[in-house]
Structure 1
Amino acid sequence: MDNPSIYHIYNSFAFHHAIDKEHFDCSIHIHDGYEIYYLISGNVTYFIEGTAYELNPKDILLINSKELHRPQLNGNCIYERKVINFTQDFFKEFSFTDYNLFRCLDDRVSGKNNLIPAYEVMSNNLDQIIANIEKCNGKDHSQELLKKTYVAQLLIFINNIMDNKKNEILILNKNNERISYIIQFINDNLSSDLSLNTLQEKFYVTKYYLCHQFKQVTGFTLNEYITYKRIMKAREFITQDYPISEIYKLVGFSDYSNFFKAFKKANGISPRDYKKMASK
């Protein structure tokens, strides 16, 4: 398994414009806040919680902190993308009781309606708004305020798109209902026994079918998916001030030692250091 990329969003905002000219294996993505992913070029299949999006240039993906996701590069095309990561804290000035700026990111079934297709992006000038955000790289207050204004504008436009038109979802592997049920069961039972034997008995499938189909449909091995979803849930519990000595049980690890190793491997820091970082 390749090493994961864990995005910690310091100061509540990060903008990445990356270009890769050689093929590489993309890693698992989990992060603390929201992500808006804008593909410029490349042959990319993006797996998000059991849905495989076969992307076109100018497509946008919306991803929240509970959605496990991983891009897969197909071929040796130049891979260029812009990625905006932020938390709700970035928009403290724009908090209203009668308007939810994050509706397009939160009010979805996990892994569904993540895609804003290219024609919607272009017709609503979302690409230009993203370009404006990228230009706001100064440190002074005016640049910071302008950047927040552009990101808020982007979210408002996307909210309107989501409200007015159901997105066209391109799914590489047609909906596999059994795998969808298994994904839902895993997410609802992270504290329980989720061994291969348990899952094959519950869903009346062979181990080979389960492992092969799960990887094909989700882009993750079964063990990868379960481990990282448990780690994501553990991070959520840590930010809610649950005792670290109890969290490993709540997310299904057999002992603290295994939990500690898995958490540090995924995040690069220990659970206690993560708690210190999250409380800043």
Structure 2
Amino acid sequence: MYEKTGYLTEPLKLFYVSDKRDWACPVHYHEFDKVMLFFQGDVTYEIEGKSYRLQPYDIVVVPAGQMHRPVVGGTHTYERIIAYISPAYIESYRQRGCDLSALFQTASPILRQPQEAGSLYGASCRLRQACCAESCAHHAVLKETLFLEFLIYLAQSIQERHIGYVKTGRQNEKIQRLLTYINEHLQDELSVPALAEQLCISPDYLMHLFKEETGYSLGQYITIKRLLLARSLMQQDRPLTEVCYDSGFKQYSTFYRAWKKYYGASPAKGIPPQTRLFLE
């Protein structure tokens, strides 16, 4: 399900990418937040079963744990700046009186900024120019400084409602209802027959439809969401048995096998310090 391209071992990682290729990106998720500033390309972004057609200077905000992928047309250059952001990065600025939490509390994950003179658009242009420039001794610091400026103006634009929210294109209403239900009931029984009954469809059709719309099997999706919940509970230093049951696993052996499969170690070894990156 993943192409391993590196690890997030610091509060912030920035990438400028401009390429042209036919690419079937798989549906995936990160355990950190992601912000992408899109400049050009033939790209539709799918996030949690919803589809969004991107326009130049759109901003894609994907909170940790959300399933997503770009659908890329290979005949056009796909140019973007990608930022992988750890909770520590946001928290460090909150403690200094700069609250950026609005970035991940938006009505839509795709934000459309006016392409006119203004703080946010100006910061976007300066960041793009810095990323395209030749590297020098201070290049990394300059990019990170300009990116912080971009985030501050973006958070202000969201809070002051000076930015547009992109509506979805294609989506399946049944699957959207199901995704909402699953994420609100991770601690409850989520068997296929019970979920199929919620939607008044057969279990076989539900599994086929879910895979077609999201790229995941229903069981995979539920397991991953429960593991992410377990990970957040472990960060609170709660006992492993409590973490197991409070994240929806009915047996510790099931929790143990799932954790080891996805993280490569037993839960007793704690939260893995590194997270896979997927440059998309």
Compare relative contact order (CA 8 Å, sep 6+) and give the higher one, 1 or 2: 2
Q: 2:164 aligns with which of 152, 164, 167?
A: 167
Q: How many residues align?
A: 270
How far apart in 2 are the matches of 1:274 and 1:135? 41
Retained in 1: the 8 A contact 2:30–2:66?
A: no
In 2 relative to 1, CA 92–42 (structure 1 residues): closer, same or farther, beyond 3 Å? same
Deviation at 1:136, TM superposition (A): 11
In 2 relative to 1, CA 153–23 (structure 1 residues): closer, same or farther, beyond 3 Å? same
> Quick one: which amino acid aligns to residue 158 of structure 1?
L
How far apart in 2 are the matches of 1:65 and 1:114? 12
Q: Which residue of 2 aligns with 1:68?
A: 67
Structure 1 vs Structure 2: percent identity of aligned residues? Answer: 26
Q: Which residue of 1 aligns with 2:24?
A: 25
3-state DSSP of counterpart to 1:277: coil
How far apart in 1 are the matches of 2:265 and 2:152? 35
Q: Which residue of 2 aligns with 1:195?
A: 191
> Quick one: which amino acid aligns to residue 171 of structure 1?
T
Q: Deviations over 1:25-65 (max 9, x none)?
A: 32344333321113344433222223211223442201222
Q: 1:117 aligns with which of 112, 118, 131?
A: 112
How far apart in 2 are the matches of 1:41 and 1:200? 40
Deviation at 1:190, TM superposition (A): 1.2
How far apart in 1 are the matches of 2:259 and 2:246? 14
Structure with a larger share of its residues in helix: 1
Q: 2:245 aligns with which of 234, 246, 249?
A: 249
Q: Which residue of 2 aligns with 1:155?
A: 151
Unaligned segments of structure 2, at least 5 residues: 275-280
Deviation at 1:199, TM superposition (A): 0.4
Q: Deviations over 1:224-253 (max 9, x none)?
A: 322221121122112222223443332233
3-state DSSP of counterpart to 2:273: helix
Retained in 1: the 8 A contact 2:90–2:101?
A: no
Deviation at 1:201, TM superposition (A): 1.5
> Quick one: which amino acid aligns to residue 232 of structure 2?
E
Q: Deviations over 1:179-228 (max 9, x none)?
A: 33211210111122212111011232223543344345445442332222
Q: Which residue of 1 aligns with 2:127?
A: 129
In 2 relative to 1, CA 236–88 (structure 1 residues): closer, same or farther, beyond 3 Å? closer
Pairing 1:87–2:83 present: no
Unaligned segments of structure 1, at least 5 residues: none
TM-score by length of 2: 0.76
TM-score by length of 1: 0.76
How far apart in 2 are the matches of 1:223 and 1:74? 30
How far apart in 2 are the matches of 1:118 and 1:219? 30
Pairing 1:233–2:229 present: yes
Q: Which residue of 2 aligns with 1:11?
A: 10
Q: Which residue of 2 aligns with 1:210?
A: 206
> Quick one: which amino acid aligns to residue 127 of structure 2?
I
In 2 relative to 1, CA 27–238 (structure 1 residues): closer, same or farther, beyond 3 Å? farther
How far apart in 2 are the matches of 1:262 and 1:63? 24
Retained in 2: the 8 A contact 1:6–1:29?
A: no
Q: Which residue of 1 aligns with 2:277?
A: none
